[in-house]
Structure 1
């Protein structure tokens, strides 16, 4: 205790301030060697900071564990929620399971949450103190998307300008091949939303919430400012001008079928979140809607980064700071 007091006093006397910021990132996809290397090469300057990882790290349980442990070495505290890729069930994950029965996506989700508890990665709300002495609470929100066939009222589905081929889209969407669902008494989006209910309340300090999936349909398309940020990213990468495409812009596919759910937005508003972080769409966002700042800072795939679509990565060279706001 004496040593800590002396160190603290020295920092104050020398005019130094211990930083304690909140950073966020999603869609690391470290199954891809170039992505894993990118994360490994992050700066070591985050040792006092907090990291939010908004899902889609990997579908491999051993790789997920080793990646989270690596992030814990770089950051003081790590928060995390699974994305859709984590709930893919392959032979490897079945072998890694401690369960005796056959693996499904819900069992795998529960196994991931248990693993995170063991290694001290937070998947439940926790009150934190920033470097400025301000308390905040970080609230992970479990989630899934709702397709229009499963629950139209909760779906973010919006009929696009192009003709849709539902059969083709379902074949293209890999969750339909790798996720295995037990019989549920409600939709998948509402199943996961129910797991959040005990934590959905008003808090006496600023709330930063995060989910993997999108909570609002208007986050799918970019604002003018976000399109301009892509142009800037391409300039930083010395790339020529290009005509920007809308999200999910190729014939016969509509991303909004798989984007997220409305119940997430309801929970965000009930929490009174100041900031909400999400991922999933592999397009970065940063905007304020009705007094909530929505941030998506995805690593995505190399091809997307090489096109400059993951704007902000050149600036931050890692996760993006989301708190303090200034």
Structure 2
């Protein structure tokens, strides 16, 4: 079987008209796979737009949720929390898009075969200094003028908290990872960064609170990752740690991407197996 190429992008935020126009410039790659690493959009109509648009340009799409897909309005949206996530998974399946609930596929890349591991792990407020207690964490972030909109719009229902939902997702995903064939390397995919040091925006460092969990700090080497793909920070970068490439693949809001690039096609990051 001929090798494929694997590309990734996150944080398309298609609720913005400029971003919907921009993705028209992303050229077709009909033999290749594309990861959509969360925050495609808040509304189903724009998520469907992404699947229809990119489904015509790529052989296979792989999706993981971000926080924006999970946003719902208290008192107005009946399908919230875990039920919202289940709805999104079914939406993906109606388009043939792979999700964290599907079998982890093996893809033959130019550098060799790898297993793609799309994950949904959330965060548990543990990306904070040791002296800040969990119960004080949000107040600590608010002191610097930072409070994530998730506090209002991301319901953990039926879980008691977003932390509890995160821990349930981490344990379920860990069990699946432990059962994998150790002969194959992996590419781990999650909207939120897996390590604290990669989740600290310089201008709003206390936003790290909503960016992941310390429970995944060793997953890149424990589960043989050639690459780790994430978004959320709107800070595209490539970093190397323990021979693993950490790829932050955010597209971003119009005022961000329009200021740093002219061609939206360059936002797609090729993810290599070696």
Q: Same fold (TM over 0.5)?
A: yes
User: What residue is the counterpart of 1:191 in the other structure?
Assistant: 168
Aligned length: 259
Q: 1:320 aligned to 263, 269, 272, which one?
A: 269
Within a 5 Å distance, the mapping from 1:6-85 to structure 2 comes to 20-44=4-28, 46-85=29-68
User: What residue is the counterpart of 1:216 in the other structure?
Assistant: 195
Within a 5 Å distance, the mapping from 1:220-239 to structure 2 comes to 220=199
RMSD: 2.8
1:255 maps onto 2:207 in alignment: yes
Deviation of 1:80 after TM superposition, in Å, equals 0.8
Q: Is the 8 A contact 1:26 1:54 kept in 2?
A: yes
- Going from structure 1 to structure 2, the CA distance change for 1:267 and 1:118 (only over 3 Å counts) comes to farther
Q: 2:127 aligned to 135, 151, 156, which one?
A: 156
Q: Is the 8 A contact 1:19 1:49 kept in 2?
A: no
Query: TM-score, normalized by length of structure 1?
Result: 0.71
Deviation of 1:261 after TM superposition, in Å, equals 0.9
2-side partners of 1:166 and 1:315: how far apart? 33
1-side partners of 2:106 and 2:145: how far apart? 40
Name the structure where strand makes up a greater proportion of residues.
2
- Going from structure 1 to structure 2, the CA distance change for 1:59 and 1:315 (only over 3 Å counts) comes to closer
- Going from structure 1 to structure 2, the CA distance change for 1:260 and 1:80 (only over 3 Å counts) comes to same
State the Cα deviation string for residues 107-142 of structure 1 (Å, max 9, x = none).
Answer: 100111122122211113111223x49322111111
Q: Flag structure 2 segments of 5+ consecutive residues without an equivalent.
A: 132-138
Q: Flag structure 1 segments of 5+ consecutive residues without an equivalent.
A: 1-7, 9-17, 95-101, 148-154, 222-246
1:293 maps onto 2:245 in alignment: yes
2-side partners of 1:57 and 1:267: how far apart? 25
User: What residue is the counterpart of 1:121 in the other structure?
Assistant: 97
1-side partners of 2:130 and 2:207: how far apart? 10
Which structure has the bigger radius of gyration?
1
> Is 269-278 or 175-184 further displaced after alignment?
175-184
Q: Is the 8 A contact 1:138 1:209 kept in 2?
A: yes
